[in-house]
């Protein structure tokens, strides 16, 4: 399995945000993308998820163009944005029921993704009363309802405590071990540790970067 992102471009009037983004990723691989705030990282992921329109470019899974069908994109790509794509007035269980059948949800809570993320521990909690970590774990759980082979995450561990980060990282490692493809935007050391390849987004393009564990060097190269 392989994804191929080719020549993604996006402009807002005269401001060119993405100037031909291209990369590939194979089964079990995690691609990390770092960059300064406002450089276009979130725009790229939202385009790949079908939330924003691109000006041009393609996104294929095993040679099959995903942008041609919203259904194909939805079934093959899970997306976790920085914000909280949840119904604040509903409980975790009620939010999950918007994405899962009852049987699917019960199975995942007992032995699947929802169990791995620890969502069974706060099923009755209303989203408005959840911690940031609970919301993020629930967001990932909802994004995985179709068991997509590709997962896009926009700084998933930002501002979360260590315990929650470890749960998310543990899940992502498990997802990769099952041949899932992850594309993540991050400056977090724990998240970067699971990346197989990294890029820095600069002037609307991706520049290959070798991450050695030195966050200071990464920041200096942004």
Domains parsed from the chain with CATH numbers: 2-85+147-221 (3.40.50.300)
pLDDT at 173 (0 to 100): 94
What SS3 state is found at 22? strand
Instruction: Give residue 219's pLDDT band: very low, low, confident or very high (50, 70, 90).
Output: confident
Q: How far apart are CA 18 and CA 5, in angstroms?
A: 13
Tokens of 106: 């019960």
Q: How far apart are CA 39 and CA 90, in angstroms?
A: 34
pLDDT at 85 (0 to 100): 86
> Is the Cβ–Cβ distance between 77 and 67 less than 8 Å?
no
The CA-atom distances, in angstroms, between 150 and each of 37, 203, 207 are 24, 26, 22
Q: How far apart are CA 217 and CA 199, in angstroms?
A: 14
pLDDT at 89 (0 to 100): 95
Q: Is the pLDDT of residue 159 over 80?
A: no
pLDDT, one tens digit per residue, over 47-72 is 999 999 999 999 999 999 999 999 99
Instruction: Give residue 148's pLDDT band: very low, low, confident or very high (50, 70, 90).
Output: very high
pLDDT at 136 (0 to 100): 92
Instruction: Give residue 24's pLDDT band: very low, low, confident or very high (50, 70, 90).
Output: very high
> Is the Cβ–Cβ distance between 31 and 196 less than 8 Å?
yes
Q: Is the pLDDT of residue 36 over 80?
A: yes
The CA-atom distances, in angstroms, between 70 and each of 75, 93, 174, 204, 211 are 9, 26, 27, 25, 34
Tokens of 60: 């294929």
Q: How far apart are CA 80 and CA 139, in angstroms?
A: 6
> Is the Cβ–Cβ distance between 29 and 196 less than 8 Å?
yes
């Amino acid at each position: 399995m392989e994804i191929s992102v080719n020549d993604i471009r996006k402009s807002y009037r005269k401001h060119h945000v993405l100037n031909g983004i291209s990369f590939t990723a194979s089964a079990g691989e995690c691609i990390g993308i770092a960059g300064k705030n406002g450089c276009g990282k979130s725009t790229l992921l939202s385009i790949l998820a079908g939330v924003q329109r691109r000006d041009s470019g393609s996104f294929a899974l095993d040679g099959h163009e995903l942008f041609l069908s919203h259904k194909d994109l939805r079934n093959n790509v899970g997306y976790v944005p920085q914000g909280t794509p949840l119904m604040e007035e509903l409980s975790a269980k009620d939010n999950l029921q918007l994405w899962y059948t009852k049987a699917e949800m019960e199975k995942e809570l007992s032995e699947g993704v929802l169990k791995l993320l620890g969502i069974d521990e706060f099923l009755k909690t209303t989203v408005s009363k959840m911690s940031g970590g609970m919301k993020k774990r629930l967001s990932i759980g909802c994004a995985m309802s179709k068991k997509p082979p590709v997962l896009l995450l926009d700084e998933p561990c930002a501002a979360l405590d260590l315990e929650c980060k470890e749960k998310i990282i543990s899940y992502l490692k498990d997802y990769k071990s099952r041949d899932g493809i992850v594309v993540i935007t991050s400056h977090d050391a724990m998240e970067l540790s699971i990346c197989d390849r990294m890029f820095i987004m600069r002037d609307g393009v991706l520049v290959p970067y070798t991450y050695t564990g030195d966050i200071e060097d990464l920041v200096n190269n942004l």
